[in-house]
Amino acid sequence: MSLSNNKIKYIRSLKDKKFRNEHNTFVAEGTKLVFDLINSCECQLIVALPEIINIYPEINSMSKEVIIASPNEIKKATFLKTPPTIIAVFYQKKSNINKDDLKNKLSLVLDGVQDPGNMGTIIRIADWFGIEHVFCSEDCADVYNPKTVQATMGSIARVSVVYTDLKKLLEELSDIPVYGTLLNGNNIYDEKLTENGLVIMGSEGKGISADIINYIDNKLYIPEYPLGVRSSESLNVAVATSVICSEFRRRSLSK
């Protein structure tokens, strides 16, 4: 069975959030990413080269529909510069969060992160440091954007991403320590850090919004080196997230 023009059109339509939401689906490309997701997300469609089906015959039972395609057909459907050997369409996951469970964990809160690549990288960072939950403001990049999905490198299968009203969330979790990264914050390496809490990371251009800053208990700053020497204006939000998470985990391991 070849990949029809209608199927190609459907896959390509999922580049747009409007159609992802309409169909409640998203696209993943490449063997590693597809197989990382296959056990955690229901699969609607798999499109693969014949050699992939031969290597992984179990694929035929992993999706509602499996299509063996030619390289040229996959090239027409892919979002990547280098066409993959397999493309899959998955149903979006629904995350149910027990807020009482968050009291003993470290979670990330993203306020207006716009870049899909940054969003995906932050999810990957969360996965690396054992952070199970990432909460996002409604104006954050969509986790199911193809660029975001690819940037997660499969971590989207293990990290729960929830879009919500951040003010309401922070009010409901007022008994949990709230940290935020700000240019006028205190040196993170001098501050006391807890093993649990919410760590807020702001948008690439504006940082943490003014109405969210009011909920921060501990303002943190990643110092430049050497101190007092002019350097970059700020760190990329994904890089800053990695530094922050690493320091929180280092402290917990050293206790």
Q: Read off the pLDDT of residues 196-235 as tens digits, 9 standing for 90 and up.
A: 999 999 998 889 999 999 999 999 999 988 777 666 677 8
pLDDT digits (tens, 9 = 90+) for 235-245: 899 999 999 99
pLDDT digits (tens, 9 = 90+) for 70-85: 999 999 999 999 999 9
pLDDT of res. 114: 95
Q: What average pLDDT does range 114-142 have in this prediction?
A: 97
pLDDT of res. 230: 67
Looking at residue 180, what DSSP letter applies?
E
Q: Whole-number mean pLDDT of the chain?
A: 93
pLDDT of res. 224: 86
pLDDT digits (tens, 9 = 90+) for 12-60: 999 999 999 999 999 999 999 999 999 889 999 999 999 999 999 999 8
Cα–Cα distances (Å) from 113 to 103, 237, 251, in that order, read 24, 8, 26
pLDDT band, residue 102 (cuts 50/70/90): confident
Strand bridging mode 218-221 / 25-29: unpaired
Structure tokens at 220: 């943190």
Strand bridging mode 106-111 / 160-163: unpaired
pLDDT of res. 99: 80
pLDDT of res. 255: 62
pLDDT of res. 190: 94
pLDDT of res. 97: 77
**Range scoring the smallest mean pLDDT among 106-120, 161-175, 213-227:** 213-227
By C-alpha distance, which of 74, 153, 75 is closest to 117? 153
Contact in structure between 24 and 91 (CB atoms under 8 Å):
yes
